[in-house]
Structure 1
């Protein structure tokens, strides 16, 4: 009897002895490359004047533009955009993987029923037997070396990474919708300005035709007026096409099918474009940026997941211990027969001795993936700080451009009046008035585009700062 029971007592000691011997075969822990480290700067290089008194970032930062239609468009995009739906599905998939990893460290209980019927000829004659054996089986792998725990930690980090990715997609969709809306209003303003310019060209053409008919103007002046009229007329369908396409692009972002703009949408859009507010520059510190952006949080969690996966690969060099137990009954020939109790207890230790370098290769691959994640985090952080600095640089520079463009527009408006008076009085050719009108029109369009760029730059700043996102 002792010879049968001795292995049960010596098995744990043998397992610990094997683990001690194999521990020396474990690879050394590998830290991330020092070149992948990143430290945030202490202050911004570009600090606009109003940044010191700016407001804190709010989750619904797009409301700072002061447009109710914009607010509705962004809310619709956040509710119906397909990219956000796909990102939410990836979160659900990562959560399922976490549940799977967590279940690996829990005991598994299963039920089994075996049955057998036999009708055969024996020395005693023809015999019939029926056997049924129901049984409960329990198995469990003790996580002695932390391999399963590391796999669960990696899955938890993956869930956090996909949640940050989903939030990053939502931030990108809100920014794309805001930019598309601002772009649509800017095109509306350009179209309204071009239509007004076309009307003025019609009046100038009629005046040139009357003067040419009476002999007060040459055919050259008439053809110049006609050419300028056709030039402005050519720009109208081009802008109308751009407005229609931008309108459809905005509807697709909000999860709707394309449609034709309303007849009065252009005039209303131009008025809303003029009424858009310039949001204040948010007050923030560089050290806060690493916690304000979902893409940086995603990169950080992916780095944590790769670290945990590396720890799991390292623990795979250690023996795997499995415990099992079974309890059941044996019924023979009839269910009413007094069953025989059957049970089993067992354990096993699976220790890697030789695998041709497979475990070492898997550990090396996991270490390389961790290093990639470390460099990816550094790259994302550098790009984030670059985006913020570029947007901050644009705040004051674009404001100066708009200021000078407004002054130039006022000067050119006076030039057009002087050129018109001189032409109507016969002191100058029509070409002077034409040049003045053309310069004023180009400046009007340029001013609209500058204001759009100014709004887009503030939008880019809010996005670069994370848009009020919090982990």
Structure 2
């Protein structure tokens, strides 16, 4: 017996060495974090983290109510919450494998067999037992599997926050676009009323002989061109309302408005340092936790190559009837253990470990891609805010000049000093300038939403 134990102890190191697998190091990092953002807009604001209710900074109570309703009822968010519950259950399953298992068995039986004298004998038996089993985690396989499940659950938690950020940002962008369409529709209707007055005047002057049919026809054509813009904008508004209701998990219908487009505030946002973005965005945290989960899965896969030990114990009783089982049973018990060591499996376990290594490598590459995308989105949002701000200033100056040109042209035409073509050209320029200002204002507000989204929207990764 002692010789056998010495032989086992001498063979154990060789067995472990044969089961071991060379380490699979992670790929070399290629991520280069910039030291600062580019452009003048990068230095605006305080650089503090984005507040959780960032959409309130626009100063519209209806926008706040709409975003909150979307965060409570959006269908994609409900799916993400259910998925998070699933991964929480997976963590409990993985952790349960590290705990002892206890089970109760009760088995009545009746059989007819041949007795010692060759006569048939009917035997009735009732047995009950309590079984316990436990697998010591000698090489960390079960712990690694539990750790992988925990990081996968944390990754899904960050994924839920990423979906919530996307829903809030899409809702805010859609609402701001809706206000922009409302402002353009109001401008189109006001311009249409002006075109109707111009056409009435041109027709009157043609009838009394003060102008030609050409001027009256041009005024009529401009009237119809402006009238065609109104249903186009009304259709776009209805489609935008439908998209907002879908985000909010509501049925199709009108969307309540608050402040008009030009009354909304332009929030001041400080982007801070690029390195701070790594803890602000939930999609970066999701990718980072996916790397940790894949690394733990790799450790669990490598541990499959090592021996595992399972301990078991059974305590039971047996009798020929239920009464005998309860009063004077025959005691039964067993204690045992087993060692399972892979010797030959056709390379299956090693291939599984190699697959886990490639999954870990892909998670690292995906993390770097997500971070680079986050840097690019932030740079684009900052550049958009800077460019749109300067473009809007020029558009407002053009609007003022076009308005003054229209006033002078109208007076000249009304007093007979100029043709209607001069006023018509001034009307077109004034409408175009006013419409451009509204579009740029809506785009600038949407660019602030994009920056909120790029900076993580008020979410910060927990430790």
Query: TM tier, shorter chain?
Result: over 0.9
Structure 1: tracts of 5 or more residues without a match: 1-5
Distance 2:111 2:432 in 1: 99
> 2:86 aligned with 1:93, yes or no?
yes
> Is the Cα–Cα contact under 8 Å of residues 50 and 281 in structure 1 kept in the other structure?
no
Structure 1 residue aligned with 2:60, among 67, 73, 93?
A: 67
Is this contact kept in 2: 1:320–1:351, CA < 8 A? Answer: yes
**Residue 323 of structure 2 corresponds to residue 335 of structure 1:** yes
Partner of 2:402: 412
Any idea what the Cα deviations from partners look like across 1:141-176, whole Å, max 9, x if unmatched? 111110111000000000000000001100100001
Aligned ranges for residues 285-364 of structure 1 at < 5 Å?
285-333=273-321, 335-336=323-324, 338-364=328-354
Deviation at 1:89, TM superposition (A): 0.6
> How many Å separate the matches in 2 of 1:309 and 1:146?
11
Superposed counterparts of 1:16-31, under 5 Å = 17-18=11-12, 20-31=14-25
Q: Give the one of 10, 16, 35 matched to 1:42.
A: 35
Shift of 1:466: 0.3
TM-superposed deviation, 1:121: 6.4
Q: Find the aligned partners of 1:392 and 1:334 in 2 and give their Cα distance.
A: 80
**3-state DSSP of counterpart to 1:284:** coil
Cα deviation, residue 283, structure 1: 4.6
Does structure 2 retain, via aligned residues, the 8 Å contact 1:19–1:318?
no
Q: 1:442 to 1:12 in 2, by over 3 A?
A: farther
Change (3 A) 1:313 1:19: farther
Counterpart of 1:258 (choices 252, 256, 268) is 252
Q: 1:157 aligns with which of 148, 151, 159?
A: 151
- Give the CA deviation at 1:29: 1.4
What TM-score do the two structures reach when normalised by structure 2?
Answer: 0.94
Asked whether the equivalents of residues 271 and 455 of structure 2 are also in contact (C-alpha less than 8 Å), the reply is no
What is the match of residue 113 of structure 1? 106
Structure 1 window deviating more from structure 2 (334-343 vs 180-189): it is: 334-343
Q: Secondary structure at the match of 1:79?
A: helix
Structure 1 residue 13: Cα displacement: 7.6
Measured in 2, the distance between the counterparts of 1:228 and 1:303 equals 62
Computed over aligned residues only, the root mean square deviation of the Cα atoms, in angstroms, reads: 2.1
Deviations 1:376-415 (A, max 9, x none): 0000000000111111122222111110000000001111
Shift of 1:15: 7.3
Cα distance per residue 1:239-297 (max 9 Å; x no partner): 11111111121122111100146xxx7xx66x521111000022522111000000000
- Mapped to 1, the partners of 2:383 and 2:46 lie a distance apart of 17
Q: Quick one: structure 1 residues 330 and 222, their matched pair in 2 at CA, closer, same or farther if it must change by over 3 Å? A: same
Aligned counterpart for 2:267 among listed residues 270, 279, 288: 279
Instruction: Indicate if the aligned counterparts of 2:19 and 2:342 stay in contact, CA closer than 8 A.
Output: no
- Residues paired across the two proteins, number: 458
Structure 1 window deviating more from structure 2 (339-348 vs 201-210): it is 339-348
Q: Deviations 1:63-113 (Å, cap 9, x if unpaired)?
A: 000100000000000011111100001100111111111111111111112
2:427 maps to which of 424, 432, 437: 437
8 Å contact kept, 1:129–1:333: no
- Residue 50 of structure 1 contacts residue 280 of structure 1 at CA under 8 Å; is this kept in 2? no
2:360 is aligned, of 333, 345, 370, to 370
Structure 1's 121 and 405: CA in aligned 2 closer, same or farther, altered over 3 A? closer
Unaligned runs of 5+ in 2: none
Whole-angstrom CA distance in 2 between matches of 1:359 and 1:26:
11
TM-score, with length taken from structure 1:
0.93
Cα deviation 1:11-63 (Å, max 9, x = unaligned) = 798378435423344221112211x4424222112242762545541010000
State the secondary structure of the residue aligned to 1:335: helix
C-alpha distance in structure 1 between counterparts of 2:31 and 2:310, whole Å? 43
Distance in 1 between residues matched to 2:288 and 2:320, nearest whole Å: 62
Q: Distance in 2 between matches of 1:383 and 1:162?
A: 20
Cα deviation per residue 1:211-238 (whole Å; 9 max; x = unaligned)? 0001111010010000000000011111
The answer on 1:403 being equivalent to 2:364 is no
SS at match of 1:322: strand
SS in 2 for 1:33: coil
Q: Match for 1:223 among 204, 217, 226?
A: 217
- Aligned counterparts of 2:110 and 2:187: Cα–Cα separation in 1: 93
Asked if the contact 1:105/1:148 (under 8 Å) is kept, the reply is yes
